[in-house]
Amino acid sequence: EAGVAQSPRYKIIEKRQSVAFWCNPISGHATLYWYQQILGQGPKLLIQFQNNGVVDDSQLPKDRFSAERLKGVDSTLKIQPAKLEDSAVYLCASSSSGTDNSPLHFGNGTRLTVT
Amino acid sequence: AQSVTQPDIHITVSEGASLELRCNYSYGATPYLFWYVQSPGQGLQLLLKYFSGDTLVQGIKGFEAEFKRSQSSFNLRKPSVHWSDAAEYFCAVGAWGYNKLIFGAGTRLAVHP
């Protein structure tokens, strides 16, 4: 099966600019996650979708971050305006369900550098 | 508070040597534990998981991990390391029925020939 696809792989922007990341999960996976991985730290969950509804966005900085999953398939994560501390790898993951401990399948991530 | 601690930031071993990566967790409910591996520029790949039953679990690539409730630990082991095992390893904890995972900060493994 095709894995989780993410684009772009790398992005460099200046602070206060906006940026968007795209994720295409594994076909048929109902649950989609966005994680932020800052250098030297483990991934931190930003938002979890079940189909096209948000299950958990408690750690999403909503003043600058937004995410959507239209039609319950692809998802985009946006940052506007970006801050220096947003420099990180943004990982998208999907699983067949969000409530059965089915394995998370991760994409290769988007590395964001904010200057 | 729920947390995962990986005490070793960086470990170096010789090829063919044994390996043990430490993981300690703090979790209010029955924990469900995972080890993931991340190669440079790649996403995370699941090595193994523990939900219940036998406390020694086998994973892919010859890895195993042992759950010790009394020590709140879930250490990862491999009897003989290969150069291709060089990567970063993450321990994670979650709750049954919820796929939200809390990750440790990771241990970077280097393998000397």
Cβ separation A97–B99 shorter than 8 A? yes
Structure tokens at A95: 């699983």
Q: Tell me: pLDDT of B64 over 70.
A: yes
Locus of tokens 């082991």: B77
- Among the partner-chain residues B42, B46, B103, the one whose CB lies closest to the CB of A103 is B46
Pairing of strands B73-78, A10-13: unpaired
pLDDT band at B25 (very low <50, low <70, confident <90, very high): very high
Locus of tokens 């470990």: B11
Q: Which residues in chain A touch residue B4, judged by CB atoms under 8 angstroms apart?
A: 42
B16 CA: distance to closest CA in chain A (Å): 27
Contacts of residue A58, Cβ cutoff 8 Å, sequence gap at least 6: none
Chain A residue whose CA is closest to B43: A108
pLDDT at site A98: 66
pLDDT at site A78: 98
Q: Which residues in chain B touch residue A42, judged by CB atoms under 8 angstroms apart?
A: 4, 90, 92, 103-106
Chain B residue whose CA is closest to A102: B99
Distance (Å, rounded) from C-alpha A98 to C-alpha A100? Answer: 6
Mean pLDDT, chain B, integer: 92
Q: Which residues in chain B touch residue A107, judged by CB atoms under 8 angstroms apart?
A: 43
Q: Which residues in chain B touch residue A102, judged by CB atoms under 8 angstroms apart?
A: 99
Structure tokens at B25: 């967790």
What average pLDDT does the segment B46-68 reach? 93
Locus of tokens 């696809």: A5
Low-confidence stretches of chain A (pLDDT beneath 50): none
Closest C-alpha to A44, from A55, A57, A54? A57
**The dihedral formed by the CA atoms of B100, B68, B74 and A29, expressed in degrees to the nearest 10:** -30
pLDDT at site B98: 67
pLDDT tens profile A41-67: 999 999 999 988 999 999 999 999 999
pLDDT band at B1 (very low <50, low <70, confident <90, very high): confident
